[in-house]
Amino acid sequence: MNVRGKLALVTGGSDGIGREIALQLQAAGAEVIVTGRSAEKLRAMAALGFGTIAGDLSGPAGIDAVVAGVAGKPLALLVNNAGVGAMDYVVDDPANLATADNCMRTNLDAPIALCAHLLPGLKAQPEAAIVNVTSGLALAPCGSGAVYCASKAGLRAYTQAMRYVLKDSNVRIIEALPPVVETNMTKSRAGKKMNAHDCAAEIVRGIRNGKTEINVGMVKILQFVHSISPALARRIMIKF
């Protein structure tokens, strides 16, 4: 996909991987709108020439704000990147159900809703794409993040189904699977982490090169290992 001159929307684009994706799309000539929850971070992105939309995607008000913010604009690229963690989730404690609900609404329900609302506009463009950012944990879930892993596995399944449904359309459906990346969400997690700039670079390169599945960093190896031994793939993901 040639992103030059195209309008892109990056959810969760004021921080972490999303911010790096937005910066690199902008550097490649795209016009980029980012969404986020922090007014301060959105102001910083606006100062760099980005369009901004404030909205918490865990609820309908945030979804409505994003849809209204791009209404009537020639959106050609939707990057569903916004996400929240639910690590160290204790599966037998009902007190954690509110955290689980927030995680599922942000990581799975919001991308589904945005796709539903924005697909008609994307189909109206000569060339368009949707990028759903899942995770290597969608392939190899870990016990400490059961709900987070489930949300990403659900988005992976939805992405694959969308790709089949839209196979004859002008909208390319892309899945990006990052490994553990150095962001605010993972700052309390020990172990090896990929830096956000390099992760975003692989994702943007995959978008521009026509990939439908972008396995980032060690997830390339994980995909191969998973095809042979899912148990070994889980051990690798937990280690890294």
Residue 94 Cα distances to 65, 87, 88, 143, 146, angstroms: 31, 15, 14, 17, 14
Positive or negative, the CA dihedral 182, 237, 136, 222 is positive
| Nearest residue to 118 (alpha-carbon basis) of 165, 82, 78, 170 | 78
Catalytic member of 89, 148, 158, 164 = 148
Q: Which residues pair with 144 in a beta bridge?
A: none
Q: How far apart are CA 92 and CA 215, in angstroms?
A: 33
Q: How far apart are CA 224 and CA 97, in angstroms?
A: 34
Tokens representing 133 are: 């950012």
Q: How far apart are CA 140 and CA 234, in angstroms?
A: 5
Is residue 158 annotated as a catalytic residue, yes or no? no
Tokens representing 22 are: 């937005």
Q: How far apart are CA 59 and CA 156, in angstroms?
A: 21
| Nearest residue to 137 (alpha-carbon basis) of 237, 16, 18 | 237
If phi over 0 gives left and psi between -120 and 50 gives alpha, with beta otherwise, what is residue 159? alpha
Tokens representing 42 are: 């959105």
Q: What is the rounded (10 degree) CA torsion for 186, 140, 97, 105?
A: 80
Which residues belong to the active site?
A: 148
